[in-house]
Amino acid sequence: MKSGFTAIIGRPNVGKSTMLNAILGEKVAITADKPQTTRNRIRGIYNEDGECQIVFLDTPGITRPKNKLGEYMRAAALDSLADVDAALFVTDQALPEKGGDNYIIERLRKADAPIILAINKIDRIGPDEYKQAYESFESLGMFADILGTEAVSGKNVPELVTALKKHMPEGPQFFPAGITTDLSERFLVSEMIREKMLHYLRDEVPHGVAVEIEKFAEKDNITHISAVIYTEKKSHKGIIIGKDGRKLKGIGKSAREDVEKLLAQKVFLELWVKVKDNWRDSDFMLGSLGYKDQ
C-alpha cells in the first residue's frame, strides 16, 4: 500500500488545522479565528481501506517567537519537515509578493520532500486575484502541485489528498485503519477546553492560558473530569471567571458538550483557574504541561 508522512506548514491562522479536520472528516485539531491556536504537533491519520495511509502532522503557525512557548512551537513546526514524504504548505496570502510567507518559502526550499501548495480561503478572493496568485506562486518553481482550497467547506480537499497520494511511497500501514489520531483522550479534552477559551476570550487572554487535566475518572457511567486553567495574570483570572462566574460557566458548558461527543458519555466537568506567573517562559511549567520535545 501507499503510506507516508505529510507535514502541514504555514503562517498562523491560514487554516491548517481546519484543513486537517476536513481531510480526515473528523475534528482532531482545534481551530479558532485567532493566530497561534495550535501549539503542538497534532498527528491525524488519513486512511483509505488498505490502499493508502497518510499520517499528517498539523503544526503551529510559523511566526517570530515571543517566549519559550513560542520557541517550542516554532521548533515543533520546522522540525516536522525532517523525514516527511511531502509537505503541505498552506497560505491564505493571495500573492507571495506580500512577503508574509518569505521565511517559510526559504525553509521549504531547503526541504527534500516535494511541496504541495494550498492557496486556502479562496472564498475570500475573486477569480482574477486567484489566477494572479497561482501564477505568482508557480513562478517560484518549487511546488509539485498548487490547488485553491476552501478548508471550511471542504472544497478541493479531496483533490488535495489525491495530489499528496502521488508522493506517498510504498510502505507499511503505520496505524490501525479506523483510528484518526493517536492523541490521548486527556490531551484532546484539554485542547477542547483551550479552544473554548479562544472562542470566548479576546486579545492576549486566551494566548496566555494552558489547561492541565488533574482528574479523569469514570464512575457510574459518568466521566468526571477536573481541569486547571493556568493564566499568567491575576487580572486575566478575573476576566476568565467573569461576572458571577458566568464566563467560566459558559466555557465549561460548551467544552463539556464537545467532550461528551468525544467520549460518547455523560461528563461532569470541573474547571479551576490558577495564576502562574510567566509560565510561558518557565521550562518547568512548559515541561509539566507537555510542551516539550516530541
Ligand X SMILES: Nc1nc2c(ncn2[C@@H]2O[C@H](COP(=O)(O)OP(=O)(O)OP(=O)(O)O)[C@@H](O)[C@H]2O)c(=O)[nH]1
For position 61 contacting ligand X by CB under 6 A, the verdict is yes
Alpha-carbon gap, residue 22 to 144, rounded angstroms: 21
Candidates 5, 7, 15, 17; binder of Mg ion (CB under 5 A) is 17
Per CB under 6 A, which region of 115-123, 204-212, 213-221, 252-260 contacts ligand X? 115-123
Task: Work out the burial of residue 37: count CB atoms within 10 Å of its CB; fewer than 13 is exposed, 13-18 middle, 19 or more buried.
Answer: buried
Q: Which residue has the cell 467560566?
A: 248
For position 38 contacting Mg ion by CB under 5 A, the verdict is yes
For position 145 contacting ligand X by CB under 6 A, the verdict is no
Report whether 174 contacts 41 (CB < 8 A). no
- As measured in angstroms, the least distance from the Cβ of 148 to Mg ion is 20
- As measured in angstroms, the least distance from the Cβ of 67 to ligand X is 16
Residue 250 contact, options Mg ion, ligand X, none, Cβ 5-8 Å cut-off depending on partner type = none
**CB closer to ligand X out of 75 and 152:** 152
Per CB under 5 A, which region of 14-22, 108-116, 175-183, 271-279 contacts Mg ion? 14-22
- As measured in angstroms, the least distance from the Cβ of 250 to ligand X is 19
For position 13 contacting Mg ion by CB under 5 A, the verdict is no
Candidates 6, 36, 37, 156; binder of Mg ion (CB under 5 A) is 37
Per CB under 6 A, which region of 29-37, 199-207, 236-244, 272-280 contacts ligand X? 29-37
> How do beta strands 266-275 and 222-231 pair?
parallel
For position 66 contacting ligand X by CB under 6 A, the verdict is no
- Contacts with ligand X in 178-237 (CB under 6 A)? none
Q: DSSP assignment of 66-104, as one string?
A: SSHHHHHHHHHHHGGGTT-SEEEEEE--S-GGG-TTHHH
Strand, helix or coil for residue 197: helix
Report whether 197 contacts 209 (CB < 8 A). yes
Alpha-carbon gap, residue 211 to 191, rounded angstroms: 8
What type of residue is 24? L
> How do beta strands 86-91 and 115-119 pair?
parallel
Q: Which residues bind ligand X (CB under 6 A)?
A: 10, 12-18, 31-33, 35-38, 60-61, 120-121, 123-124, 150-152
